[in-house]
Amino acid sequence: MQLLFTILLDGLVYASYLFIVAAGLTIIFGVMKILNVAHGGFYAWGAYTAAYFIGAASEMGLPDWFAFLIIAGSALAVGIVLGLLIERIVLRRLYDHEEILIVLATFGVFLILEDLILLIFGVNPYFAYQPMVALGSVEMGGIFRDVYSLTLFGVALSVAAGSWWMLTRTRWGKLITAVIHDREMALIVGINVRRLFVVTFCAGAVLGALGGAYIAPTVSVAPGFAVDVIVLSFAVVVIGGMGSIPGALIGALLVGLLRALAVHKLPELELFVIFLVMSAVLIVRPEGLFAPAKARKI
Amino acid sequence: MLHAILSDKTVRLTALALLALAAAGLMLPAWVVNNMMFGLARGAAVLGLLVLWRTGLMSFGHGLYFGLGAYAVALSEHWLGLSDFALRILAAILVAVVAGFALGFILRRYRDIFFAMLSLAFSMVLYGILVKTEALGSTDGFSVSQTTFLGWAPEGKQVLFTAIITVCLALAVLVQMYLRSTLGRLTTAIRDNEIRVEYLGYSVARAIHIKYVISAALAGGAGGMMAMALGQVDPDSMVYWTVSGELVFITIMAGPGSVLAPFIGAIIFEFLRTYAFEIAPHAWQLIVGGTLLLIIFFLPGGIWSLLERIPFFRRLRHD
Amino acid sequence: MTDVPILSVKDLQKSFGAVTAAKDINVDIPAGQVVGVIGANGAGKTTFVNMVTGYLKPSGGTIRFRGRDITGIAPRLAVHQGLTRSFQVSQVFMTLSVRQNLLSALALARRKGGALLRPIAGPELLAECDAIMARYGLTDVAEHEASALSQGSRKLLDIAMAVVSGPRMLLLDEPTSGVAAEEKFAIMDTVMSALKASGTTVLFIEHDMEIVERYVDRVLAFFSGEVICDAPPARALIDPKVRELVIGDTRAPTAPTAATGQAEAAYA
């Protein structure tokens, strides 16, 4: 029973930050039709920036709550700066290219971002446990859990609610929905698709960076730590249906819980299970579980 | 048929280039010969991706077949004691063909990113199995003993090098013949408009399935050669997604213009990596990523399109 | 004309979610007839063609072609039966030249045995290709890439590629849409005389009533998924229902109206 509870809790925590990262990925895909491999770079940069400044702030004796400002600030700064740069320098040249080539270009960007981290932050891991230590831990049903991880639920839920509100209740959201549905028609009726792309890409990048920045205090931020997450959030997005926020939520829960189950019960099957589920979903429902409707072509 | 093969200029050039390489192998230092073997092996897998890429399909998981080929060599030695070159190559290709044929029924329904991602997922499933299964060598894999030729175990690597060159030549000729056939020519048509091909009465799914099996066979053979050249197989160097990623990278870098391009691209890649690790050990990904972007931006036809600025190479296109 | 219809559609149904795109369509078409399909956008014309040629699976009803049940078969199998189509948006190989487009089509139509493994070309195929280009007025643009063609020439290429397989029946989806007004009759003359010569049964979707009047033996008028009039053009075009529900609408802009456009798009 306790084990079940642990698995559930672990799974939900993991699902929360997978969702934050995957939401960014899926928004970018939905609007721009770009499978953004560089998302892993946003994640890693968010984590490194947050870890670096949390460490610096702690040395300067700033209060612990300041770390949360740093996390939010890192996510915004990294997302907007990298988002703008990459959209302008790389993506803008490629919008009329084949999808696959754009994926490869973002893969190139990912590799560059990874090595830039090595060159700037070095190869040694960064630790930023201060916020996690500051919040302490609580006992729930006989198991101890750090409060910091639990706040992740709040962040994930806010992201879910916020993006739902954005997409259904605001003008921008309706434009985005129109573009997701039929990009050509959106162009014809005069939606400024280019500007929408820039905003979407930056928003997605901020979410990717936020995932990294928020996870930073709970792990050792070391080279290559983004790879796992990015591969799994791809699985999340593919399972849920590329371009669907509710899909990302369901996908994240599924992958998060499965992974927690595998880690505790069958550690040898961890990666295997998730890719197996992804293959199964793709085979049964090629577009994912919740793919948005598409305009007809002929 | 033979006449058609021998009169093909690309075939002649490929044969000449590879023969020159075999002759040079007698004089080159061992590390160069090794790098060449790695390059040729990888080149054969890239040739497989080229067959798909001409239809606009890219597999992010060809490490699956590369790995199956490599493990076929390792396991046929481990279980059956095989060490003969021809048998090893056959085993590698056979295993890949069987797997590619089976998975092809699923993958032929997918395009674009979905094709790429599902391929990746399949390759990672194999990776997951290999890493966690003791009987299959787990993370350590197997070492592969020296390759023999009809019972003869030659000194040094020269003979293996020549044998690999021969196989690559044969594969390149077969692919060239395929690309020149009506079926091969349909690649552009399928990439341009599947609906039309369907309404011309031909099954796009079947055409893609055939291409997929061909490309799996090539990647399988390539993995087998890599196992023999390296003398070692393990999941990380044969199946992991980075292996597939390298193959994709070389495909883009080399360009889809000719069956010779993958081998040129792959050999350049091996030497680039060797030097990059000496000169700037932390900048390898930067170099790969930067090259990828530059090629996509400025040289969409890859290295081969540079060669095509020379009239001699340009003429090969109209063969 | 024989008594057995070449195409026989019974109680054909199609719904996309809550939207009904075809409701109890019953049509028999005798061999050799030329049928014009008219109707506003969203009336279900293309859906009808898509179902008959296997692009969409009907929700109900049967389609028989030359006596055989072809309901829901794959497009390529319909083609093998001698039933093919052209497209509202030309479906040609955009990066190939006109000649390569037709050669590809010919190679696929004439394939048998190991033909697919041999290189394209061969003198008969080239001669046949030249003949088709001459018949469809494409000789002057033979080496042009399809993406560089005018709308009219691309439509002709699209139709020529469909005809290569020698179909018994051809369905043309708006053969003159997007074509300059002065080109329309020239295209239709070219196409219809070529098809008449081969005795092909033709069904085409058309918005231009002058063209309908000039070329067809029979008119099917569609309105919200139903055939509301099935008569010779002289009668159909003055039918009050047709005038109100079909021809009245055709004067409106050709962009889909908000309601039908969205509904169609959302469920397609």
pLDDT 10s digits, C220-233: 998 888 888 888 88
Mean pLDDT of all residues in chain B?
A: 90
pLDDT 10s digits, C56-114: 888 888 999 998 898 888 888 988 889 999 888 888 999 889 998 998 888 888 776 56
Cβ neighbour number for residue C122 with a 10 Å cutoff: 15
CB B44 within 8 A of CB B215: no
Instruction: Calculate mean pLDDT across residues A100-118.
Output: 92
Distance CA A251, CA A234 (A): 10
Of the listed ranges A23-27, A145-149, B3-7, B284-288, the least confidently predicted one is B3-7
Detail the DSSP E strand segments found in chain B. Answer: 142-143, 232-233
Helix (H, G, I), strand (E, B) or coil at B263: helix
Distance CA B74, CA B143 (A): 7
Which chains, if any, share at least 3 CB pairs under 8 A with chain C? A, B
Cβ neighbour number for residue B214 with a 10 Å cutoff: 21
Distance CA B208, CA A80 (A): 41
CB B61 within 8 A of CB B119: yes
Cβ neighbour number for residue B23 with a 10 Å cutoff: 10
Q: Which residues of B touch A231 (CB under 8 A)?
A: 124, 241
Mean pLDDT of all residues in chain C?
A: 82
Instruction: Calculate mean pLDDT across residues B6-30.
Output: 83
- How many helices and strands (H and E) does chain B possess? 16, 2
Answer yes or no: do A298 and C264 touch at CB < 8 A.
no
Sequence-ordered list of residues with C-beta below 8 angstroms from that of A258, at least 6 positions apart, any chain: A11, A273, A274, A277
Distance CA B251, CA B32 (A): 22
DSSP state of B308: T
Nearest by CB: A108 against B110, B114, B293? B293
Is A293 a residue whose pLDDT tops 80? Answer: no
Is A190 a residue whose pLDDT tops 80? Answer: no
- How many helices and strands (H and E) does chain C possess? 11, 10
Q: Which residue, B38, B61, B37, B35, is CA-closest to B48?
A: B61
CB A244 within 8 A of CB A288: yes
Answer yes or no: do B285 and A101 touch at CB < 8 A.
no
Secondary structure (H, E, C), C233-267: HHHHCCCHHHHHHHHHHHCCCCCCCHHHHHHHHHH
Answer yes or no: do B181 and C118 touch at CB < 8 A.
yes
Burial of C234 (0-12, 13-18, 19+ CB in 10 A): exposed
Is B142 a residue whose pLDDT tops 60? Answer: yes
Nearest by CB: B252 against A104, A242, A275? A104
For chain C, helix, strand, coil in percent to 5 are: 40, 25, 35
Nearest by CB: B125 against A111, A231, A279? A279
Q: Which residue, C224, C220, C204, is CA-closest to C43?
A: C224
The ipTM (two decimal places) reads 0.86
DSSP C143-160: TSBGGGS-HHHHHHHHHH
CA distance from start to end of chain B: 15
Is the CB of B127 inside 8 Å of chain A's CB atoms?
Answer: yes
Q: Which residue, A120, A99, A108, is CA-closest to A33?
A: A99
Burial of B156 (0-12, 13-18, 19+ CB in 10 A): exposed
Instruction: Calculate mean pLDDT across residues B208-219.
Output: 96
What pLDDT score does B230 carry?
A: 94
Give, in order, the Cα–Cα distances in Å from A20 to each of A15, A70, A211, A241, B234.
9, 18, 6, 16, 34
pLDDT 10s digits, C174-185: 888 878 888 888
Which chains, if any, share at least 3 CB pairs under 8 A with chain A? B, C
Cβ neighbour number for residue C72 with a 10 Å cutoff: 12
DSSP state of C92: -
Answer yes or no: do A298 and C88 touch at CB < 8 A.
yes
What pLDDT score does A291 carry?
A: 66
Answer yes or no: do A272 and B125 touch at CB < 8 A.
yes
Burial of A272 (0-12, 13-18, 19+ CB in 10 A): buried
Answer yes or no: do A110 and B289 touch at CB < 8 A.
yes
Look at strands C83-85 and C169-173 and give their pairing: parallel
Domain count of the fold of chain A = 1
How crowded is the C-beta side of C251, counted as CA atoms within 13 Å?
Answer: 5
Is C264 a residue whose pLDDT tops 50? Answer: no
pLDDT band at A6 (very low <50, low <70, confident <90, very high): confident
DSSP state of C12: E
Beta pairing partners, A138: A145
Write the Ramachandran bin of B195: left for phi over 0, alpha for psi from -120 to 50, otherwise beta.
alpha
Is the CB of A76 inside 8 Å of chain B's CB atoms?
Answer: no
Tokens describing residue C52: 């008959």
DSSP chain A: -HHHHHHHHHHHHHHHHHHHHHHHHHHHHHHH----TTHHHHHHHHHHHHHHHHHHHHHTT--TTHHHHHHHHHHHHHHHHHHHHHIIIIIHHHTTS-HHHHHHHHHHHHHHHHHHHHHHH-SS-B---HHHHHH-EEEETTEEEEHHHHHHHHHHHHHHHHHHHHHHHSHHHHHHHHHHH-HHHHHHTT--HHHHHHHHHHHHHHHHHHHHHHHGGGS-B-TTTHHHHHHHHHHHHHHH-TT-HHHHHHHHHHHHHHHHHHHHH-GGGHHHHHHHHHHHHHHH-TT-TTPPP-----
Instruction: Calculate mean pLDDT across residues A114-135.
Output: 87
Q: Is the dihedral of CA B228, B233, B239, B241 positive or negative?
A: negative
Burial track C10-33 (b if 16+ CB lie within 10 A, e otherwise): eebbbebeebbbbbebebebbbbb
The C-alpha R_g of chain C, in whole angstroms, comes to 19
Is B9 a residue whose pLDDT tops 90? Answer: no
CA distance from start to end of chain C: 37
Instruction: Calculate mean pLDDT across residues B235-252.
Output: 93
Q: Is residue A294 part of a domain?
A: no
CA distance from start to end of chain A: 55
Q: Is residue A17 part of a domain?
A: yes
Alpha-carbon torsion angle B309, B311, B312, B317, nearest 10: 80
Percentage of chain B modeled with pLDDT above 90: 52
Answer yes or no: do C265 and A298 touch at CB < 8 A.
no
What angle do the packed helices A147-169 and A2-32 form, to 10 degrees? 30
Distance CA A74, CA A57 (A): 13
pLDDT band at C261 (very low <50, low <70, confident <90, very high): very low
Tokens describing residue B114: 């979905």
What pLDDT score does B235 carry?
A: 93
In order of start, what are the domains of chain C with their CATH numbers?
7-90+150-267 (3.40.50.300)
Is the CB of B124 inside 8 Å of chain A's CB atoms?
Answer: yes
Of the listed ranges A286-295, B270-279, C88-97, the least confidently predicted one is A286-295
Q: Where are the domains of chain B?
A: 2-240
What pLDDT score does B174 carry?
A: 92
What pLDDT score does C120 carry?
A: 61
pLDDT band at B255 (very low <50, low <70, confident <90, very high): very high
Answer yes or no: do B286 and A116 touch at CB < 8 A.
yes
Tokens describing residue B65: 């077949």
Q: Is residue A298 part of a domain?
A: no
B128-137 contacts at long range (C-beta below 8 A, 24 or more positions apart): B128/A269, B128/A270, B128/A271, B128/A272, B128/A275, B129/A272, B130/B67, B130/B71, B130/B235, B130/B239, B131/A271, B131/B235, B132/A268, B132/A269, B132/A272, B136/B71, B136/B75, B137/B74, B137/B233, B137/B234
Instruction: Calculate mean pLDDT across residues B8-16.
Output: 84
Distance CA A205, CA A222 (A): 20
Is the CB of A239 inside 8 Å of chain B's CB atoms?
Answer: no
Of the listed ranges A284-293, B10-19, B196-205, B261-270, the least confidently predicted one is A284-293
Q: Which residue, B309, B214, B304, is CA-closest to B10?
A: B304
Is A297 a residue whose pLDDT tops 70? Answer: no
**Closest-CA distance of chain B to residue C53, Å:** 9
Percentage of chain A modeled with pLDDT above 90: 32
Could you give phi then psi for residue B97, rounded to 5 degrees? -65, -45
Q: Which residues of C touch B182 (CB under 8 A)?
A: 107-108, 111, 115-120
Instruction: Calculate mean pLDDT across residues A207-214.
Output: 94
Distance CA B75, CA B137 (A): 9
Could you give phi then psi for residue B281, rounded to 5 degrees? -60, -25
Is the CB of C222 inside 8 Å of chain B's CB atoms?
Answer: no
Q: Is the dihedral of CA B289, B293, B294, B299 positive or negative?
A: positive
Burial of C103 (0-12, 13-18, 19+ CB in 10 A): buried
Burial track A14-34 (b if 16+ CB lie within 10 A, e otherwise): bbbbbbbbbbbbbbbbbbbbb
Q: Is residue A297 part of a domain?
A: no
What pLDDT score does B318 carry?
A: 55
Is the CB of C95 inside 8 Å of chain B's CB atoms?
Answer: yes
Distance CA C205, CA C193 (A): 18
Q: Which residues of C touch B181 (CB under 8 A)?
A: 116-119
Is C156 a residue whose pLDDT tops 50? Answer: yes
Q: For tokens 């691209």, name the residue.
A: B265
Residue A137 belongs to a domain with what CATH number?
1.10.3470
A:B CB pairs within 8 Å: 106
Closest-CA residue of B relative to A109 is B289
Q: Chain A 258-277, CB below 8 Å of chain B: which residues?
A: 268-272, 275-276
Closest-CA residue of B relative to A101 is B296
Which chain C residues touch A if contact means CB-CB below 8 Å?
A: 46, 50, 55, 87-89, 91, 264-268
Of the ranges A119-128, B288-297, C47-56, the best mean pLDDT one? B288-297
Instruction: Calculate mean pLDDT across residues A75-104.
Output: 92
Closest-CA residue of C relative to B191 is C93
Instruction: Calculate mean pLDDT across residues B165-189.
Output: 88
Is the CB of A60 inside 8 Å of chain C's CB atoms?
Answer: no
CB B273 within 8 A of CB B267: no
Instruction: Calculate mean pLDDT across residues B109-123.
Output: 86
Of the ranges A202-211, B16-25, C111-120, the best mean pLDDT one? A202-211
Is the CB of A293 inside 8 Å of chain B's CB atoms?
Answer: no
Is the CB of B5 inside 8 Å of chain A's CB atoms?
Answer: no
- Domain of residue A131, residue span: 2-284
Answer yes or no: do A272 and B129 touch at CB < 8 A.
yes
Is B316 a residue whose pLDDT tops 60? Answer: yes
Distance CA A224, CA A240 (A): 26
pLDDT band at B209 (very low <50, low <70, confident <90, very high): very high
pLDDT band at A240 (very low <50, low <70, confident <90, very high): confident
Is C267 a residue whose pLDDT tops 50? Answer: no
Is the CB of B271 inside 8 Å of chain A's CB atoms?
Answer: no
Q: Chain C 1-40, CB below 8 Å of chain B: which residues?
A: none
pLDDT band at C119 (very low <50, low <70, confident <90, very high): low
